[in-house]
């Protein structure tokens, strides 16, 4: 997996994932600090100084800031791993479910939000949805190195598994009850629908409740990652009471 951008590269070097090669624009060689070089050395990775064209090609033209690396592919986890992680931390499970979110920038932003909020894990479907790639990694600003993501064949089966483990499933969608009136302090999973179509009917049917974020403008929908950010931090706010 290609990781690009200085912050994303630094977090990858600090994480537990395997790194094979680190590429830095040769124009930055003289300004590279010793801490960066030490991180590369600790990873037993090869540090290579390259030109901009090389980086542009490796990152498919992404904004790499002169830094990129080649690491092992992202390792998805199981739903049970997310629940076990919450148990290890002695916390009520807190999960985000993405229903066919296809934009890698949205997925990357959601990963960043969830890491900042202390969400225990994200569940995504295997089909008709974005998976972790270099754009997701870059957009997450390194958060991808610390967030558990389960990729499942059937989202509704995963929801049923969460219910069996005591979680309440809340879809964030138009036409539901007021989001801010719901008690979200228990074990919860927040479902965020796709950019163009929202939450699918079957997934919505399997939610315990559909909750709606209040809107006061002329546009009646939010970007998926923005809606996710509002929702998860409301959960955090309630849990801190």
How do residues 56-79 score in pLDDT, each as one tens digit? 999 988 889 999 999 998 899 999
How do residues 127-144 score in pLDDT, each as one tens digit? 989 999 878 988 898 898
Q: Which domains does the chain have, with CATH numbers?
A: 2-71 (3.30.1330.30), 79-239 (3.40.1280.10)
pLDDT band at 145 (very low <50, low <70, confident <90, very high): confident
CB 100 within 8 Å of CB 129: yes
* Cα–Cα distance list, 7 to 131, 151, 159 (Å): 21, 25, 34
| Res 179: pLDDT | 96
Count Cα atoms within 13 angstroms, Cβ side, for 166. Answer: 10
| Res 219: pLDDT | 79
55 token code pair:
């980086």
* Cα–Cα distance list, 176 to 100, 117, 142 (Å): 20, 24, 34
CB 93 within 8 Å of CB 83: yes
């Amino acid at each position: 997996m290609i990781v690009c951008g200085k912050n994303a590269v630094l977090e990858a070097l600090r994480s537990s994932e395997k790194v094979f090669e680190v590429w830095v624009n040769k124009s930055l060689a003289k300004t590279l600090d010793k801490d960066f070089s030490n991180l590369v050395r600790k990873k037993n990775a090869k540090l290579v100084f390259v030109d901009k064209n090389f980086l542009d090609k490796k990152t498919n033209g992404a904004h790499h800031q002169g830094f990129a690396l080649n690491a092992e592919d992202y390792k998805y986890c199981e739903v049970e791993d997310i629940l076990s992680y919450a148990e290890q931390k002695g916390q009520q499970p807190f999960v985000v479910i993405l229903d066919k979110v296809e934009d890698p920038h949205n997925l990357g932003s959601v990963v960043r939000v969830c890491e900042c909020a202390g969400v225990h894990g994200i569940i995504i479907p295997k089909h008709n949805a974005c998976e972790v790639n270099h754009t997701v990694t870059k957009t997450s600003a390194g958060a991808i190195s610390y967030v558990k993501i389960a990729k499942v064949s059937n989202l509704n089966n995963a929801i049923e598994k969460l219910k069996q483990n005591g979680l309440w499933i809340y879809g964030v969608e138009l036409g539901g009850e007021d989001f801010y009136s719901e008690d979200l302090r228990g074990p919860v999973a927040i479902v965020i629908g796709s950019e163009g179509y929202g939450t699918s009917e079957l997934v919505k049917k399997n939610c315990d409740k559909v909750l709606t974020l209040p809107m006061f403008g002329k546009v009646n929908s939010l970007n998926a990652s923005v809606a996710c950010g509002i929702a998860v931090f409301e959960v955090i706010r309630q849990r801190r009471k």
